[in-house]
Every structure is written in C-alpha cells, then in structure tokens.
Structure 1
Amino acid sequence: MNDGPIVLAEEPNSRHTLYAVVEQDERTAYFYLYPAELQSRKYKMRACWLRNLKPGPLKRDSEAMVNGMAPMLQASLCNHPGGKEPLQAERLSIVWFPEEDGAAVLYDGDVLGVIPGWSLYEDEPVAYAADCTEADANGLVFPLGERGRNEQYERVAEAVSFRRMWEDTTEPQWTPIQQNFINTYERYFGKMLQYFAIDNNQWPPMALGKFEKDNIIYFLTMGVSIRPMPWVSHLYSNNAPAYRRMELALAVSKLDYTEDEIKKMAEGLSVIADIPWRHISWLGEGHTIGSAKLPAPFESLVLSSALYTGESIELPEMYGDKVNLFWASPVTLAEREFAHRKANGGYELLEKMIEEDITHIVKRRQEII
C-alpha cells in the first residue's frame, strides 16, 4: 500500500518565491522546485528524479503518472537497475544558486540532483541526476555525468562556496564590498552625506548612499550586485556575466524638486532594488517599473545607462563580473505605454528622451509622447 510521499528536506529561497523539496515514497525519490502561490501562474513546478527504491521498470512508468504518482526511471537508464536504498533525511542538504531560481540537492556533500535556474524558463523542463546514466527520451532527467564534463558540478561548487563565505562570521563579506562602493561613489560625487539600509534586514545587505554635487542630489545603491539576476543566464548564455549584475542610481535637481519630493523618489528607487528576486525577473536598459513615489505627471521609472552624461563611472567588479549602473528617470503613463507597445520599445523611448536632451538628471519637463 502506498501512503504517499514523505518530505525529507525543504528549503525556500531567500524571498520565498520558490521552494526546494526532496520527497520519497516507497518506490522512488524526487527533488522538486515549487513556485510560491504568487508565482504559480507564471512558472511551473520542476522535478528531478533522484533514484528508484525498487527494481526499475523495463519501459516508461506511464502507469504511475496516470495514477498521480512520481514515475520510476526505467532500469536501463540508471546505475541501479535493481533499486537502491532509501535516502536518509539527515544526509541531505539543499543549496540555492546565487540567482535563487535554481537549486541542487547534495547527499553527504556529493551532488545528487540539479535543477538549473534556466530550466524554469523553458517549455520543457531540464534536470540532472547523479544516478541517471542515460537521458530519458521523454525528458524526465539527464545524466549528471562525470565531474569536469558537466558544468553543473562547477556551478554547484561555486554556489556552495558562495553560501559558505556569507555564513562565515570570522571573515565578514559585506564590509569590504560596502567600502569599495562608497569609495568609488565619493570619487565622483563627493563625501557621502547619508547612508540608508534598504534590505529590510534580509540577506544580502543592500544600502543607499546620498551625495550632493552642484545642486544635484544623488542616490546610489550598493549591495544589489551581490546576487546575479534571474533570467539573464537564460537570455544571454555565455555573455551573461556582462549583464547579470546591477546597481541603481538617481540624480535629482534641487532647483526643480523639494526635499520631500526627492526623498520620496529615493524611496521608490530603494523598492526597485529587490524586484528581480522578489518577482523572479531581471532589470536592464530600457526597462520600466511603476512607482507611486513620483511627483505628477510621472508614474514610472525607466532604467538606463545611456542617459548618463557625466564622467564615466567604473564600479567595482562583483565576483569577477561587470556591474552595470542604471540611472532611474521618471516617465509618464503615455511614455511608459509607448515603451510597452512593442518588443524593445524601451530603447525607442530612451532614444526620444535623448533627442529631447533629457539626461540622467531629473528635472521638471514636458511629456514627450
């Protein structure tokens, strides 16, 4: 009699948008990524077979799927055709990749199964298992293969190292990162006037620095780039390191806006900082984000590095990756709708803004659409 699967391990990512779960019944063990309720319309559950606990079937286990059970992998595709001992919960551990859209399960520290983040965005799910020896024709699972032949081993090792670094209290990671960014920003915008934590006491630490130069108030983030953004590896593949990390900036003219208006705009910027991980998305050149913190007639922010007209700013690298600095510029409803009317419309909006001599410095202006 099958009493249903038992949960052996469960761990959400830091924003609880996805849940990594290892389940086992009397026949087989699986690793799953479940989207949270708010994400369930956009993303589907992803599954990774881990092992059979009984002799594997000679062909696809269609009967189990018809009966709503996790299918066993056929015997010819795994390294234990006669079945393997059940997994023990205390020997399992789960590690999330830094983007927090994919994860791996380890057994006694060895990689047992991997669901890469880019699988979340594919129509056909992809997963890798150490005990799989040949790919399932129906895409149930792929072999993890030998170390050195599958990049997933390296990615998991990097993820484990990344997490351990941040958990190591004897060598704090945040202090040097924080100081590097402050030093960089002060070279261009003068002494930092105020420092605001914007991470809501969640990992990773993120902050907003306030600066002033030539009647312009500047707000620049630091710490956002600690995590690579979701989606980017899927979209840019080998070029992802040039696009997956960002910091945000806002420059507002004191001659055009009051102190309170500037403060509210800065609050809007701080909310944007965590959007990629709260919504499993990404931000880049020409992207628009709604904000209730903007003075009329503006209702959204467009992000751009192209609008910047000042001295070239070289941000510190983050874990070997380039960090992009996007300046937030307020736009009206009509301008945002123009940007959304077709793919890459944000670039067209930015072109029009540049034609109208609109720069990274926020000033009062007329609607251009």
Structure 2
Amino acid sequence: MGTTDVVLTDTSPYGSRMVTVEYEGASSVAYLRGAGGGIHGAVWLANHGQAPSSVDLDRLGRGQAPVMPRAHTRIPEGTPPFTSAELEVLWFEEGDGAALYRNGDLLAVIPGWADLERGMPGYARDAVGESPFAWSLEEALEGLAPRIAKARSYWEWRHGDGAWRSFQQFAMSHLDTRVGPPGRYWDIGGETLPTVGITERPLDEYTVLSTVGMSCQRMPTVEQYIDRPDAYARVELAVATRHEPAEAAQLFLWLARYPWHSITWLGHGHTARWYGDAAGFPLGRSYAGVLMLDTVPGLPDMSGFAFGGDEVRWLWLIPLTDHELQIAAERGHDSLGLSLPGRIP
C-alpha cells in the first residue's frame, strides 16, 4: 500500500465535520469526515499521472485512493500535486458540507448528502460525467452555485464585527413584542459555534424560556427531508414552566446545539429522549423526554421572526413520559391526545 500524505485538514466552525485532502502518489482525494475521523463523503480531485483506460480494481482492493479512468477526467495527462497553501475550504452555513478552492478557483464540492455507500460522491471540477469517484462539477453548478454564494456571504457576515450582537438584539426585540419583557439571560455557548443564549420571560402564571441564537444558522440535513427547507431550517426552542426556570433551562444545554454537533435537525412532531438518569430530567422525574410542537394552545405565538430570508419557527418542548415517548415513536404524536395546557410543569 502506498504512502498517504494529508495535504490539508480543515474543521467546520461547529467542530462536527472536517475536510481532509489526501495525496497518494497517483491521485488526490478530498474526504468529508466526522469529528472521530469516519468518512461521510468523498470526491476524487485529480490524477497526477496518465489516466488508465479503466478502473484499477486491484488498487481499490488494496485500500488505495482511486485513479480516475481516462473517460471521466478532463485532464487525462494528470496535474501536479496540490499544496496546502493553495487550498481553501468554504463550509456551508449548516456545517454538513463544504466547497474546496484552489488558488481562488472552485475545485470541488462535497455536499451533506454525499454518500459513497449509495454511489453519491462529491463534485469535482476535473471530472467528466458521473463515476463512482466524482461527478461533474460543471454539470451541477446551476444548483450548487447559489448555495456556495450564500455560504460565502454568510461567513463574511458572521465573522464581521458586531454580527452576533446585532442578531441577538434583533431576536430579543421580537420576543419583547411577542412574549413580554425579559428577566435573566444565560450564555450557553462553548468553544465552537453556534453561539446560543437563554432568555427568561416571566408571565403571571408561568415563565417562558427561549433560546436565542439557534436560528442564526440553518440546521443541517433539512433539505434531505423537506421540500421547502427555507420554512423549516431555522428554529428556536421554548419551554413554559411554573417551577425554577434555571432548572428548566437545562433542556437547552441538552438540545440547543445538538443539530450542528450531531448533523441532524429538529422539527414539529419530533421527540427526544433524555440522555441521563431519569431522576435528573429538568422538568420532573416522572418524565423521560420531550415532544416538539410549533404551536401550543394557550402559549404565546412566537411567529413573525425571519432571518437570512428564512422563516424562524419556535418549537415548544412538551414533557412526555416513557410510555408516551414509545407511543409517539410507534404511532405519531397526534395519537397521544395530550391536554397541552395541562403540560406546563
């Protein structure tokens, strides 16, 4: 087996994915990896010598990177190897895919839906047609170019001075109008994005807690399940409680950064089972998890907020027992017949 040189490693702003560009003598490949190193997507980038007439199955059998056959490369004579100084990674806003540039020119794209097991590699500039190792970037640019442009625009804004503060004030003002004046505020951000806070809104009979910051970036994978991701890709979470708000706020420590760190999404009707000991569930030991609903009778209507051209949905966290979680998983949440106003713990 040949020696593999890792030319570039770049970790997403959320810390859950990384792109590596690897050189193996005859070719170079870019991989989309999880934080633990597992491969989630890959794309051939270039041959560094004459292209063969067919796929070298023996090479693949030895676990080596593929060399693109002549019929599927724009440069059959090959190109010089890449250097780290000439490569740049642009992450999608969601953090589940990335574009790779060489000296400012788009070289390849590995979207979040790339999946080698399903025969879906990434897109490469020098690829021709479709092969198991890369699909033509030129043929896919009509769909990918707007996504890439939005990603660059987003990160230029996000890394600019005052970006987070302006978003935070925008969201807080919306909640002032829809719920009422704020109480305490907790910052629950970590070393990686997303930056998220919790705002407390005391009302007469209960207190509303809401995240602030989840909707500052789109959730990953929504487009793989929803026809209109612009209406579902941005969310905030909320909970109503009659008990100590600081205890209920622990739900957000659990869920607020989960979509970007686990590359998934949260939506209406989704459930989540508490990860710890039942006695430690923030809304009472009789419950085992939560149901997420975008509308709950009797609770404030949070609608009307938008960011980045997308509607923002607030998902209320409704506590469920272990038995109710099982029913929701088997038959859907509508079968529970919950008295939602009575579910304010």
Per-residue Cα deviation, 1:116-153 (whole angstroms, up to 9, x for no partner): 112259733231000112222xx321111168x43222
**Secondary structure of the residue that 1:100 maps to in structure 2?**
coil
5+ residue gaps, structure 2:
275-280
Q: Which residue of 1 aligns with 2:310?
A: 321
Is the 8 Å Cα contact of residues 15 and 192 (structure 2) preserved in structure 1? Answer: no
Q: Which amino acid aligns with 1:199?
A: G
Check if 1:312 corresponds to 2:301.
Answer: yes
Rate the CA distance shift 1:215–1:311 in 2: closer, same or farther, 3 A. Answer: closer
Q: Which amino acid aligns with 2:102?
A: Y
Is the 8 Å Cα contact of residues 194 and 257 (structure 2) preserved in structure 1? Answer: no
Rate the CA distance shift 1:98–1:45 in 2: closer, same or farther, 3 A. Answer: same
For residues 16 and 145 of structure 1, the distance between their equivalents in structure 2, rounded to whole angstroms, comes to 30
Q: Which residue of 1 aligns with 2:129?
A: 134
Aligned partner (choices 112, 127, 134) of residue 107 of structure 2 = 112
**Secondary structure of the residue that 1:85 maps to in structure 2?**
coil
Check if 1:301 corresponds to 2:284.
Answer: no
Deviation at residue 61 of structure 1 after TM alignment = 2.4
Rate the CA distance shift 1:122–1:325 in 2: closer, same or farther, 3 A. Answer: farther
For residues 115 and 222 of structure 2, the distance between their equivalents in structure 1, rounded to whole angstroms, comes to 12
Aligned partner (choices 70, 79, 100) of residue 75 of structure 1 = 70
Per-residue Cα deviation, 1:225-269 (whole angstroms, up to 9, x for no partner): 1121112111114x111111100111113xxx3x2xx32112123
TM-score by length of 2: 0.91
Aligned length: 339
For residues 284 and 308 of structure 1, the distance between their equivalents in structure 2, rounded to whole angstroms, comes to 18
Is the 8 Å Cα contact of residues 13 and 19 (structure 1) preserved in structure 2? Answer: yes
Check if 1:182 corresponds to 2:172.
Answer: yes
For residues 59 and 3 of structure 1, the distance between their equivalents in structure 2, rounded to whole angstroms, comes to 20
Deviation at residue 294 of structure 1 after TM alignment = 2.6
Q: Which residue of 1 aligns with 2:4?
A: 5
Aligned partner (choices 121, 134, 144) of residue 137 of structure 2 = 144
TM-score by length of 1: 0.86
Q: Which residue of 2 aligns with 1:252?
A: 241
For residues 298 and 49 of structure 1, the distance between their equivalents in structure 2, rounded to whole angstroms, comes to 49
Is the 8 Å Cα contact of residues 52 and 83 (structure 1) preserved in structure 2? Answer: yes
For residues 274 and 122 of structure 1, the distance between their equivalents in structure 2, rounded to whole angstroms, comes to 28
For residues 61 and 247 of structure 1, the distance between their equivalents in structure 2, rounded to whole angstroms, comes to 50
Q: Which residue of 2 aligns with 1:366?
A: none
Aligned partner (choices 251, 263, 273) of residue 280 of structure 1 = 263
**Secondary structure of the residue that 1:236 maps to in structure 2?**
coil
Deviation at residue 45 of structure 1 after TM alignment = 3.3
Q: Which amino acid aligns with 1:34?
A: R
Deviation at residue 309 of structure 1 after TM alignment = 3.0
For residues 188 and 154 of structure 1, the distance between their equivalents in structure 2, rounded to whole angstroms, comes to 33
- Taking every aligned residue pair, what percent have the same amino acid on both sides? 26
Rate the CA distance shift 1:142–1:222 in 2: closer, same or farther, 3 A. Answer: same
Q: Which amino acid aligns with 2:210?
A: L
Rate the CA distance shift 1:201–1:18 in 2: closer, same or farther, 3 A. Answer: closer
For residues 261 and 139 of structure 2, the distance between their equivalents in structure 1, rounded to whole angstroms, comes to 34
Q: Which residue of 1 aligns with 2:278?
A: none
5+ residue gaps, structure 1:
364-369
**Secondary structure of the residue that 2:3 maps to in structure 1?**
coil
For residues 9 and 74 of structure 1, the distance between their equivalents in structure 2, rounded to whole angstroms, comes to 25
**Secondary structure of the residue that 2:319 maps to in structure 1?**
strand
For residues 121 and 167 of structure 1, the distance between their equivalents in structure 2, rounded to whole angstroms, comes to 33
Q: Which residue of 2 aligns with 1:164?
A: 156
For residues 279 and 113 of structure 1, the distance between their equivalents in structure 2, rounded to whole angstroms, comes to 24
Is the 8 Å Cα contact of residues 189 and 196 (structure 2) preserved in structure 1? Answer: yes
For residues 122 and 20 of structure 1, the distance between their equivalents in structure 2, rounded to whole angstroms, comes to 18
For residues 176 and 322 of structure 1, the distance between their equivalents in structure 2, rounded to whole angstroms, comes to 18
For residues 242 and 293 of structure 1, the distance between their equivalents in structure 2, rounded to whole angstroms, comes to 30
For residues 273 and 122 of structure 1, the distance between their equivalents in structure 2, rounded to whole angstroms, comes to 31
Is the 8 Å Cα contact of residues 269 and 328 (structure 1) preserved in structure 2? Answer: no
